[in-house]
Amino acid sequence: MIYFDNNATTQILDEVRDAMLPFLSDQYGNPSSAHALGNKARVATDRARKQIATCLGVTSSEIVITGCGSEANNQAIIGTLLNHMDTPGKNLVISAIEHPAVLATAQWACKRFGFECRIAPIKIKDHQIDPQPFLDCIDENTVLVSVMAANNETGVLLPLVPIFKAARSVGAICHTDAVQGIGKIGIKPLEVGADLLSFSAHKFHGPKGIGGLFIRRGIKLESLIHGGSQENGRRAGTEAVPNLVGMGAAADIAQNTDIEAIAKLRDMFEERLLALYGNKVHINFRDLARTPNASSVQFKGQDGNLLLIKLDRQGFCVSTGAACSSGSLTPSKGLMAMGLNQREAAATLRISFSKLNTVAEVEALLEALPKIVKKN
C-alpha cells in the first residue's frame, strides 16, 4: 500500500507512538490527581502543551486542547457568537471554501442564534486569491471573520494578513482553521494576525481524536463543555493524556519538517505527470501559493471516482477531494467554489504527500497511472 492521502490523515510517526506508549500502559494517572501517578501525567501534559505552544510561537496558557479540529472550529465560532447574542444585526464572514467544520458550524450557529452568515466568494487575481471579496463582506457589524489558512482540497493558501487587518479594524475576532497548516507552512497565529487558530494532531503525524485552539491572551470565549476546571475552565473533561503527549511530540517534530523536500517530491510528480500527459491533465491552481504537499490534478474527461477506485485496487491511496465527500458522486463543492466547472471538479484527484513518501513511491504512482487512465 502506498499512501498519498496525507490531507485526509497522516501516519503516526514512530517517535510519536513511542512517546504515547507509557501513557497507554503503566502511566495511566489523571493529571488532576494529587498523587505521584497523577503528577507524572501532569508533567507530561504540561510538557506537551509547551511543545504545541512553541510550535505556534505562543504561550501554553493560550492553548485549549480539544477532541479534534472540528471541535476547535466549533469552539471558535459558537464561543464567539455566544458573546454577541444581545446585539442584533451582527454578521460573521467566512470563505466559500471552508471545510464543513467551519462552513456547517457557521451556517448552523448563524441560523440558530440570528446572525447573518456572509460567505466571501473566491476570486483569483494576479495568481493569488483576491482579498477584496472578503473586505467587501466585512463591516462594523462583523463580529467574527473565519478564514482557513490552507485549503484541504487544493492546498491553496488564503491571504489571511490583509483580511484579518480589515477584520481587526472593525473590532472583529479573527479565526483561522489551520488544520492543514501545521507541518506544512509553519503557520504562526501572531504573524498572520489571528486571535484564534484551530489545529488537529492527526494531520501532522500525531494521533486522531485530539486537536486544539489557540486563544490569544485577552480574548474571552464562551465555553462549550462545562464541568471540571481543566484547560483553565475553558473545556472540561479529563485530559486524553496519551493523545496529548502524542500531539506534543508531533508538534515538536513538525517544527523541523523539511518542507522543501516535500515540495520537491510534489513538484517532481507534477512535472513528470505533465511530461507524460501533456494537455490531457491540468494541475489545478499550480500558479497559486500552495502547501508544499498537495497536488490537485484534473484528468481531463475522466471520472475521478473511478480513477480512485482503480488506483485503490493497485494499492495506491488517493482522494477525489475532501475526505468526507470522497466516494460521493457529487463533485466537490469546494473545487467548484474555486472556479472549476462540474466536469472539471469530477475529473480531479487529490494527491497529498508527506515527509514519509519517497521518490520510489512517486515513481510507482507515475508508472501505474497510464495503465489506469488509458483504459478508463
CA trace torsion 129, 136, 164, 340 (10° rounding): -30
Cβ nearer to ligand PLP, comparing 92 with 179: 179
Count CA atoms within 13 Å of residue 211 on its CB side: 27
DSSP states of 308-359: HHHHHHTTEE-BSSSGGGTT-SSPPHHHHHTT--HHHHHTEEEEE--TT--H
Q: What is the DSSP string of 94-131?
A: EETT--HHHHHHHHHHHHHHT-EEEEEPP-EETTEE-S
The distance of closest approach from Cβ of residue 181 to ligand PLP in the complex, given in angstroms and rounded to an integer, is 9
Kind of pairing, strands 128-129 and 211-215? unpaired
CB 344 within 8 A of CB 176: no
Indicate the residue among 173 and 372 with the shorter CB distance to ligand PLP: 173
323 binds ligand PLP (CB under 6 A): yes
> Which is nearer to ligand PLP, 69 or 248 (by Cβ)?
69
99 forms part of the interface with ligand PLP (CB under 6 A): yes
Q: What is the number of alpha carbons within 13 Å of residue 339 lying toward its C-beta? A: 9
φ/ψ of residue 290, rounded to 5: -135, 165
Single out the segment in contact with ligand PLP by CB under 6 A; choices: 37-45, 47-55, 64-72, 259-267: 64-72
Question: Rule CB under 6 A: is residue 211 a binding residue for ligand PLP?
Answer: yes
**Which stretch, 13-21, 124-132, 175-183, 251-259, contacts ligand PLP (CB under 6 A)?**
175-183
**Does the protein bind ligand PLP through residue 70 (CB under 6 A)?**
yes
Out of 74, 75, 105, 152, the only residue in the binding site for ligand PLP (CB under 6 A) is: 152
147 binds ligand PLP (CB under 6 A): no
Measured from the CB atom, the residue of 207 and 331 that comes closer to ligand PLP is: 207
- Select the residue interacting with ligand PLP from 44, 65, 160, 179 (CB under 6 A): 179
Minimal CB distance to ligand PLP: which residue?
Answer: 69
324 catalytically annotated? yes
Among 52, 144, 148, 307, binds ligand PLP (CB under 6 A): 148
How many residues line the site for ligand PLP (CB under 6 A)? 13
Residue type, 64: V
Q: Phi then psi for 295, rounded to 5 degrees?
A: -135, 125
Which DSSP helix (H) or strand (E) runs through 80? helix 69-81
What positions carry a catalytic annotation? 324
Binding residues vs ligand PLP (CB under 6 A): 68-70, 99, 101, 148, 152, 177, 179-180, 200, 211, 323
